[in-house]
A = this chain, B = another copy of it.
Amino acid sequence: MNNFKPYFAVIFTSKHTNNISGYTEMANKMEQLAKLQKGFLGMESARNEVGITVSYWESLEAIRHWKINTEHMLAQKLGKEKWYSWYNVKICKVEREYEFKS
């Protein structure tokens, strides 16, 4: 823990509408675009009844830049208009971490 450098996580949870045409293509495009952003560290996603995407960033500034990225803003707009009935975004500071491998 001594050398742990805090970083940031965005927990994005969502529920889809019944109309998800175009969603998968956009989600893939946004994932590729996020990876190109300065300060991007990683991303993990899973979806059953609820979708959970967690992305990891070096700083709050990197998160702010990604939030207002022009293409990402268009995706957010379409998300609200078409694909999501609900979503929640949590900005978090990762303070500790541990891992297991068998």
Q: Count residues of chain A with CB under 8 A from any CB of chain B.
A: 34
**B44 with A47: CB separation less than 8 A:** no
Across the interface, which residues of B come within 8 angstroms of A84, CB to CB? Answer: 100, 102
Q: Report how far A91 CA is from B51 CA in the complex, Å.
A: 20
Is A17 part of the binding interface, using a Cβ–Cβ cutoff of 8 Å? yes
Flag if B102 contacts A17 (CB, 8 Å): yes
Contact of A51 among B46, B93, B100 (CB under 8 A): B46
- How far is B46's CA from A80's CA once the two chains are assembled, in angstroms? 21
Rounded to whole angstroms, the CA-CA distance of A86 and B51 in the bound complex is: 21
Interface residues of A (CB under 8 A from B): 9, 11, 13, 17, 44-52, 54, 80, 84-102
